[in-house]
Amino acid sequence: MIGIMNNAGKAVFLDRDGTVIRDVGYLSAPEDVHLLPYAARGILRMRELGYRVVLVTNQSGIARGYFTEDDFKRVEARMEEELAARGAGLDAVYYCPHLPGGAVAAYAIECECRKPKPGLILRAARELGIDLGASVMVGDTEADIQAGRRAGCRTILLSTERVSLLIQPDAHAAHLLEAVEHLERWGRPK
């Protein structure tokens, strides 16, 4: 992973597509990786505030047969290169390749890691020693908000519009750097 791992027990869990990089739908080619505006600066600020930054992403394109796990890893490597070139980095990446009814039998299963289930977040917390009550999930879909809430995290929805959701996020932000403003506010003594 890129960057220095800190010993803090808190993390920001980030969705990938539509949160860190442009969502192009079933991304399989490294040359199609494009960081969203303010993504690297937001991640850098999160780390400066003492948060681990952990990517948690559904990748059903693997189960659908659209791309392989090796393709996914090449895309991730390109994203991390782009972040590193801007002084930012991730502490870990967790992904779910599953989809019930998928075309690739090995991945066509019901699992606990596919968001909106909290499995990816819970696994990361267990493996990295993260305090979920002090952590935040940031994403651009209701599934991200549900996964974060189910894991016991605060949540931030990246959206320029107020949308109707079954589970409301704790905050809204237009991009990751704006999400940092909520982290700063939540970190201040009351």
The CB density around residue 39, as the number of other CB atoms within 10 Å, is 23
* Closest CA relative to residue 21, chosen from 32, 5, 9, 8: 32
DSSP secondary structure code for residue 36 in this structure: P
Which two structure tokens, joined as six digits, stand for 117? 């289930």
What residues act catalytically? 15, 17
Cα 170 from chain centroid (whole Å): 16
Exposed/middle/buried for residue 59 (C-beta within 10 Å: 0-12, 13-18, 19+):
buried
Query: What's the Rg (C-alpha) of the chain?
Result: 16
Q: How far apart are CA 47 and CA 16, in angstroms?
A: 17
Which two structure tokens, joined as six digits, stand for 91? 């502490």
